[in-house]
Every structure is written in structure tokens, then in C-alpha cells.
Copies of this chain bind each other. A is one copy, B any other.
């Protein structure tokens, strides 16, 4: 574990703990939903709340995997880098998602906050022990991991075989599904153009040009900033399907 992460963990105070696990905002949707009340109490004994600033990295690719947790609030990215610094975002973490690599010795990806975020973290060793002694946790992890694997593989199709406009259309659809209310009103995208580019394996300019193309074709509106409104969802979906 590096110094920065260390200080993050230390900075967590009992005082910041928002009640116990029983009152946790993601209790019903995170892996914790597999636990009994007694299990929740056991868990709250080994967990700590950590607040991270946008841009702060919780886990580093190549480091020892000694931290896992649940996202309570905010959005984080999971990313890989080439030797010379090119970055690919390989996953996003939203509230109630599980974070980190249980049962492994090395972190294969970095995890960095995109927005201010709150994470409930556990030391890997303590969590591994906990999951071994509480039924349902490993099964809940398995379900999530299988789902993540499906998602990652679907994204591989996008990265390997889709054109720029197809990629951008896919991302817009997915982001609006995942964060926004598609009521025709404008939604604020949670990602900058650079982050979208890092997810799509494109450059910022190509993402921007694709968005403009959609706007000129009447598929979306871009009222400025990161706001976006869907005008023709079906057409966008057709493009995204490839």
C-alpha cells in the first residue's frame, strides 16, 4: 500500500461513520444485501468510511491488493495504463458497486475517483476472512463478478470492432440509462470528454466531433456544459448496435 492510500485509511474516524451498516444507504443493493443483521454488525466492525476527492487514487495498478470495499456515493474509474502512459478506463464504479480485488495478491487495475466519492473500505485480509465465515457473501461477489465480466466482454466488442460514432452512441445510451432520467429533459453527463475518450479508446476530439454529428442530425441536444438531451433515442440505439 502506498503512502497516499495509507493516509486515507487513517483519516477515517469513527465519528464519520453514518450509523452502522444497518442504516447504510446501499445496504439493500450492495453485496451487503446478502447478510443477516448479525452479519451486518460483524461487518461494521471491520469497515471504515473513506472520502476521496476527484482525481484521488484509492488503488494502484501493480500494488498489493490490500483494500476492498463498497461505493457509497460518487463515481470512480477502474483503469489500466500502458508503459508509456496511455490510459484505458476498463470499468466504472457507481454507488453500491464492489471495489477492489478480493482473493488476489496484486491489483491489476487502478481505481480513481472521478467525482467526490464515499467508499466503505475493508482491509483485504479482514474481508477475506469475513466472507469465508458468512454465508452468501462469496455468492453475492460471484454474481457481481460474472456480471462485470459480461459487461467487460461486451465493451471489448466496442473497443475492437466499432467505429467512433458507434462507440460514442453506445456510451451515451449507457450513461443515460445508468445515471439519468430519460424524460426528454437534459441530463448532466457524469464524465468529461477526456474521460469518455479514455473509456472508448478514442481521443477527445473524435468524441467531440461525434457528439456534434449527433446534434446536427437531430438525435441529441447539447445545451452546453455536460448537459445532453435525447431527441431520437431509437436512432441512437440503432447506431450503437453497430
In the complex, A242→B83 CA distance in Å? Answer: 5
A88→B138 contact, CB < 8 A: no
In the complex, A149→B108 CA distance in Å? Answer: 10
Known: A103-B143, A141-B142. A108 touches B156 (CB 8 A): no
Segment at the B interface, from A115-123, A159-167, A215-223: A159-167
- Within the complex, the shortest CB–CB distance from A238 to chain B, in Å, comes to 8
Kindly supply a per-residue 1/0 record for chain A positions 118-140, scoring 1 wherever the CB is within 8 Å of any chain B CB and 0 otherwise: 00000000000000000000110
Kindly supply a per-residue 1/0 record for chain A positions 75-109, scoring 1 wherever the CB is within 8 Å of any chain B CB and 0 otherwise: 00010111110111011000000000111100011
B146→A82 contact, CB < 8 A: no
In the complex, A155→B139 CA distance in Å? Answer: 26
- Within the complex, the shortest CB–CB distance from A60 to chain B, in Å, comes to 15
Contact residues on A (Cβ < 8 Å of other chain), bracket: 35 or more
B160→A88 contact, CB < 8 A: yes
B152→A200 contact, CB < 8 A: no
In the complex, A142→B154 CA distance in Å? Answer: 20
A38 on interface, CB distance cutoff 8 Å? no
**How many identical chains are in the complex?**
2
A153 on interface, CB distance cutoff 8 Å? yes
B103→A157 contact, CB < 8 A: no
A16 on interface, CB distance cutoff 8 Å? no
A201 on interface, CB distance cutoff 8 Å? yes
> Of the candidates B82, B146, B153, B160, which one forms a contact with A201 in the assembled complex, judged by CB atoms under 8 Å apart?
B160
Q: Provide the residues of chain B in CB contact with A138, threshold 8 Å.
A: 138-139, 142
A153→B91 contact, CB < 8 A: yes
Known: A84-B242, A138-B139, A145-B142. A152 touches B154 (CB 8 A): no
A146→B88 contact, CB < 8 A: no
| CB nearest neighbor in B for A242 | B82
In the complex, A109→B147 CA distance in Å? Answer: 12
Known: A161-B86, A161-B87. A80 touches B153 (CB 8 A): yes
Known: A103-B143, A150-B101. A83 touches B160 (CB 8 A): no
A146→B200 contact, CB < 8 A: no
A232 on interface, CB distance cutoff 8 Å? no
Q: Provide the residues of chain B in CB contact with A153, threshold 8 Å.
A: 78, 80, 90-91, 108-109, 152
The 5 closest A-B pairs by CB, nearest first: A160-B201, A82-B242, A159-B159, A90-B153, A80-B157
